[in-house]
Amino acid sequence: MTAAGDRTHDPALRSWVASANAPDTDFPIQNLPFGVFRRLGAGARPSVGVAIGDRIVDLAAVVGRGLVSGDALLPCQACEDDSLNELMALGPAPARAVRLALSDLLREGGAGEAHAAEILVAMRDAELFVPARVGGYTDFYASVFHATNVGSMFRPDNPLLPNYKYIPIGYHGRASSLVASCAAVRRPWGQSRAGDAGPPTFAPSRRLDYELEVGLFVGAGNALGEPIPVGRAEEHVFGLCLVNDWSARDVQPWEYQPLGPFLAKNFATTVSPWVVTLDALAPFRAPAFARPPGDPPPLPYLAGAPERAGIAITLEAWLCSARMRDAGAAPMLVSRGNFTDMYWTIAQLVAHHASNGCNLQPGDLLASGTVSGPTKESRGCLLERTWKGTEPLTLPTGETRAFLEDGDEVVLRGYCERPGAARIGFGECRGTIAPAIPASRPESMNYR
């Protein structure tokens, strides 16, 4: 079930799509991630595509022109849909067959070139969507560095709770407010309390933050009541993406006890458009996080995961304020971390989630929680990066940032690089903060 022998990630492979051969592209022929796009202009409908360089392969057009056959035909037909759910439900082998067929079509000398005008769409001429109809969205807390940092701010005497090293801590998020990359995110109103006493106030959040996370789309599901063994958990993973779990840090500490985050998180979560398969990531597998001496081993149902259960993905958060955009300044790098710093592997997240029989379904999204590493520069949210706002960032314009201001744009990026392998990128997960609804609106608003 591994991708051993999968020729799609041969680093020597080149495509007749010129932009796919640029050394810094996220989408070389070795990647071929899946997404859902719509051609700009009237009448076009959302459709499944695969990214290649700065182009999108329209899978419906590939099927329509009879360019696939054999194992790839049925799963390509499953792509004639407005989401990836049907393809995801088929499990890993069919998606592998599609990528292999596309690799053949798109390689130098491949048969696709003669049909380029019909099967390719320029990314700049397309709108991109959340790639699946997400039934269940679960958010984990898998970075021990993040958990320790946040814990030490909110519970100084008790930063890392005793369950952390036994349980991949997670909670259910809100699927309805998942939004596509580039969607504006409105600053939410919420309850917060200034000190430790006195009544709360209800006002627009003044501590709006992002969280840099990796998302995992479930492929084949499990039946209710039937756990997924950790050793087979990756067979249920269709692929990975980037997730920005926007958070209102003033609302969160006031509301989260005893039942966890709710309105501090569920106003919006941004999902990147391209789902990178585990096959494409195979050259970047790495050992799982090395538990420090003294940490307990995982309980048996979470142990014995794949030997190289980690994935070396470099993850970056970039910030661009409205004034920076006006001044023509480039976005500023706020953090750079790596997915190998996560305490729990993706196999452990999946196996734990289903360990009580909870049924995962095709298209479900499991996010990792904020990816933070051991260094200051690798902290994946402003809460940690500015240490609760006490160490604000200085932007190129001279502005400072403790938390996000209206007009700020956050761009998350992820990529895998190493000598001897083609670069595999995730593209971008973008969002810009829009002002809160004015104070007069909540009671007198433009109600339908």
To its own copies, the closest distance from the beta carbon of 229 in angstroms equals: 6
Q: Which stretch binds its own copies (CB under 8 A): 254-262, 270-278, 305-313, 314-322?
A: 254-262
**Does residue 232 touch its own copies according to CB under 8 A?**
yes
Can you tell me which of 361, 389, 396, 399 binds its own copies, judged by CB under 8 A? Answer: 361
Q: Which stretch binds its own copies (CB under 8 A): 43-51, 135-143, 319-327, 376-384?
A: 135-143
**Does residue 355 touch its own copies according to CB under 8 A?**
yes
**Does residue 176 touch its own copies according to CB under 8 A?**
yes
**Six token digits for residue 142:** 């898998």
Q: Which residues contact 126 (CB under 8 A, 6 or more apart)?
A: 37, 38, 39, 40, 49, 56
**Does residue 153 touch its own copies according to CB under 8 A?**
no
CA distance 246 to 268: 6
To its own copies, the closest distance from the beta carbon of 328 in angstroms equals: 30
Measured from the Cβ of residue 220, the count of other Cβ atoms closer than 10 Å reads 19
State which amino acid sits at residue 42.
Answer: A
**Does residue 260 touch its own copies according to CB under 8 A?**
yes
Do residues 91 and 219 lie in contact, with contact meaning Cβ atoms separated by under 8 Å?
yes
Can you tell me which of 44, 254, 329, 387 binds its own copies, judged by CB under 8 A? Answer: 254
Measured from the Cβ of residue 248, the count of other Cβ atoms closer than 10 Å reads 26
CA distance 68 to 58: 13
**Does residue 273 touch its own copies according to CB under 8 A?**
no
Taking CA 42 as the corner, what is the angle to CA 38 and CA 46, rounded to the nearest 5 degrees? 20
State residue 209 phi and psi, 5-degree precision: -140, 165
To its own copies, the closest distance from the beta carbon of 261 in angstroms equals: 7
**Does residue 152 touch its own copies according to CB under 8 A?**
no
Residue 63: strand, helix, or coil: helix
Q: Which stretch binds its own copies (CB under 8 A): 35-43, 93-101, 105-113, 439-447?
A: 439-447
Do residues 134 and 179 lie in contact, with contact meaning Cβ atoms separated by under 8 Å?
no
Q: 109 or 296: whose CB is closer to its own copies?
A: 296
Residue 133: strand, helix, or coil: coil
Residues in touch with its own copies (CB under 8 A): 135-136, 141, 151, 154-155, 161, 163, 166-167, 169-177, 179, 186, 188-191, 199-202, 224-227, 229, 232, 248, 251, 254-263, 266-268, 296, 299-301, 352-353, 355-361, 364, 437, 441-443, 445, 447
